[in-house]
Structure formats: structure tokens, C-alpha cells
Amino acid sequence: MIELLTAAEMARADAMTIAGGVPGMTLMEAAGNAVAETTAARHPEGPVLVVAGPGNNGGDGFVAARRLRAGGREVRVLLHGDPARLRGDAAIARERWSGAVEPAALPLPDAAVILDGLFGAGLDRPVSGTPAGLVEAMNAAPAPVVAIDLPSGLHADSGQPLGVAVAAEATVTFFRKKPGHLLLPGRALCGALHLAQIGIPETVLGEIRPAAFENAPPLWAGALRFPGLADHKYSRGHALVVSGPMSRTGAARLAAGAALRAGAGLVTLASPPGALAVNAAHLTAVMLRRMEDAAALAAILADPRFTAVALGPGLGTAAPERALVLAALASGA
């Protein structure tokens, strides 16, 4: 399974790695190097502008700036905040950068590519004031933006902008993706997502025990049953899908087809009278049952051979549809 880490879980992963003997600066150097390599691969020519913030995200930006300059690129670094207030690994990264550090001010200088190191996954408050202006300026610039860890202004857990957020052409994140990388609108704001391993051991996941996972075959493939020699259609499960009225039947048919592909031995589509002909014209392997109302649905589900029921696609939310839901819940299917 492909784990997703919240901002708090990622902070724990960092802390556990450092407590295990890996210097924090080693992690920062690896992260900045990954950002530099991705930037050079995606945008191999022209000057680079790094917009750095006062935390570790900005420290990653300083490392990336140093690596890109060592590779022959022209690099300018803008810092939001007082350089003297940098702490820990970010301060060390600043000291290792031999170039000038300019105050982050508008308008932004021209560049072929912008590195967004303003805020990272730890941001939990709305972006306002000067940082908001910097975010808007990066979005308005003609140069593509490569975000470090997460586009500045994007909530790592929800994928929602905290006021304003950078719209990146690409994002480089570390160890594991965060939910905000995959949840809209965050997924669109991240652009092309690059995942880099920076030296955090996989063993930290056993203690963190993430609760979120990326929707991919490793997550659910093990739950799919393969038919045995003695299996028959009823031992493989009989699914009942409830169709909407004549004008809203397509979603239920798609759900019925998906049930077949997922391995159900039988699939029946329960249709209002007016929808029977429409559904029959589009289906072959799916059986049809007439269903006038909630009482009719309850009667159908009284057959113990039905093992699952799906209702909702194209159904609506009025009182008759609520009655269908209650009938399905009462059936125990």
C-alpha cells in the first residue's frame, strides 16, 4: 500500500529519523538536492529565482540554490523575513549559500524558473500581507514555478488553499505524499508531482501507523476473490443496484457493470417501471427487476441470495428516495 502522511505525521517521521542518529541537515541537503535535480531536469536553461521563507522550506531552497549554482546556473535568492532570525538547519543552509540574499519584495526579478520555498507542509494559517503578494506575483510571473514540498499556501492535509496558494508547474515532495497533494484543488495546484527519498527509513511507518493511503491497486487488489473450481454465481455474490427514473439511468448502469467487473456472480438492476425499457436496451449480462417504491425494494431484498445493494447513482434526495435508503438499510443486505 502507498501511505499518505499528514503534516503532523511527516513531522514525526522527520523527528524520529533525527532521533535515530541522522542529522537534520543531512535530510535538508538531500531534499534540496532533489529539488535542484528536478528543476535542472525540467528546466535546464536560464536563470533561477528562489523565493525562500523563514523555515525549513526556505532552508531546502537555499540548498537547492547552492546546488544549481554549482551546476553552472545563475541563481538569485529572495528571503521573506530577517536572515538573522533563521534557526537550526535553515540557518546552516543560509550560511552555506555564498551568494547574496535579497529581501523578498515586489516586483519579482525575471527568471526562467522560480523555486517556491516560501511555506511548506507546516502552514496552518491563512496567507496574508507580504507573503500573499509574493504568492500572487509567482502565479502572475511568466516563468514556471517548482514548489518545494507543497505549493505555498496549500493545506497539506485538505488540499485547500489557505487564502491564496501557488499554482506550481511541478512539486517536489519527500518520503511520502500528503493528502493535499492528491485532493482537489491541491492536486491541480501541485502540477507534476515528484516524490524523492531523502534518507527517512521505512521503519518509521510502523510507529506512525498512517491512516490514509493512495487509491491504487495495492490498496484493494488483495480483497478481490478469484473463483474456485466449485464456485457458482451465487457463491460469488449477488449484487442489487437501484436505478433512478427513466431520465437518470446511466449512473446505475455504470455501477452495475462495475459490480460485474469486480467479480460479482450476479448483478440485478432494480428499475422504476418507466426505466425498465431504457435499461433493457443497454444491458445484456445484468438482470432487471421492476421496482415501484420502497415496499417493492424491501420485497426484492427479502430474497436472502442478495448479498449487497448499491443505491444512490442517479437516484435523487427527495422523500421517496430516502424511503428507498431506509428500506435497504432495514434489509440487512
Q: 131-185: per-residue pLDDT in tens? A: 999 999 999 999 999 999 999 999 999 999 999 999 999 999 999 999 999 999 9
- β-bridge mates for residue 117, sequence order: 52
What does the pLDDT read at residue 37?
99
Contact yes or no for 153/177 (Cβ under 8 A): no
Residue 76 confidence (pLDDT) = 99
- Band of residue 316 on the pLDDT scale cut at 50, 70, 90: confident
Q: What are phi and psi of 122, to 5 degrees?
A: -80, -5
Task: Show Cβ contacts of residue 318 under 8 Å, excluding neighbours closer than 6 positions.
Answer: none
Return the sign of the alpha-carbon dihedral for residues 58, 88, 204, 5: negative
In this predicted model, which residue has the larger pLDDT, 224 or 276? Answer: 276
* DSSP for residue 3: E
The model's confidence at residue 220, banded by pLDDT at 50, 70 and 90, is confident
- CA-based R_g, the chain, Å: 27
* Mean predicted confidence (pLDDT) in 189-213: 98
Cell output for 256: 452495475
pTM: 0.82
d(CA 154, CA 122): 10
- What pLDDT, in 10s, does the model give residues 10-66? 999 999 999 999 999 999 999 999 999 999 999 999 999 999 999 999 999 999 999
Angle (CA) 148 94 101, round 5°: 90
- Tell me what pLDDT residue 218 has: 87
**Which domains does the chain possess?**
3-218 (3.40.50.10260), 225-331 (3.40.1190.20)
Average pLDDT, the chain: 96
Q: So what's the pLDDT on residue 23?
A: 98
List beta partners, residue 238: 266
pLDDT tens digits for 74-127?
999 999 999 999 999 999 999 999 999 999 999 999 999 999 999 999 999 999
Q: Which residues contact 161 (CB under 8 A, 6 or more apart)?
A: 153, 154, 155, 185, 189
Per the DSSP assignment, residues forming a β-bridge with 170 are 146, 192
As to burial, measured by CB atoms within 10 angstroms (0-12 exposed, 13-18 middle, 19+ buried), residue 284 is exposed
Bridge partners of residue 194, in order along the sequence: 172
Average pLDDT over residues 250-260: 96
Question: Bridge-partner residues for 240, per DSSP?
Answer: 268, 309
Classify residue 18 as exposed, middle or buried by CB count within 10 Å of its CB (0-12, 13-18, 19+). middle
Cβ within 8 Å of residue 262, ≥6 positions away: 224
The reported pLDDT for the residue numbered 285 is 93
- Tell me the three state secondary structure of residue 199: coil
For residue 16, count CB atoms less than 10 angstroms from its CB and return exposed for 0-12, middle for 13-18, buried for 19 or more.
Answer: middle
* Degrees to nearest 5, angle at CA 198 with 195 and 201: 105
pLDDT tens profile 256-273: 999 999 889 999 999 999
Report, as an integer, the average pLDDT of 279-303. 95
Say if CB 13 and CB 200 are below 8 A apart: yes
Cβ 309 vs Cβ 331: under 8 Å: yes
- Note the pLDDT of residue 18: 98
Q: What is the mean pLDDT of residues 236-251?
A: 94
What's the average model confidence in pLDDT over 68-73?
A: 98
Cβ contact 67:59 at 8 Å: no
DSSP 8-state code for residue 86: -
Per-residue pLDDT, 240? 97
Distance between CA atoms of residues 181 and 161, nearest Å: 12
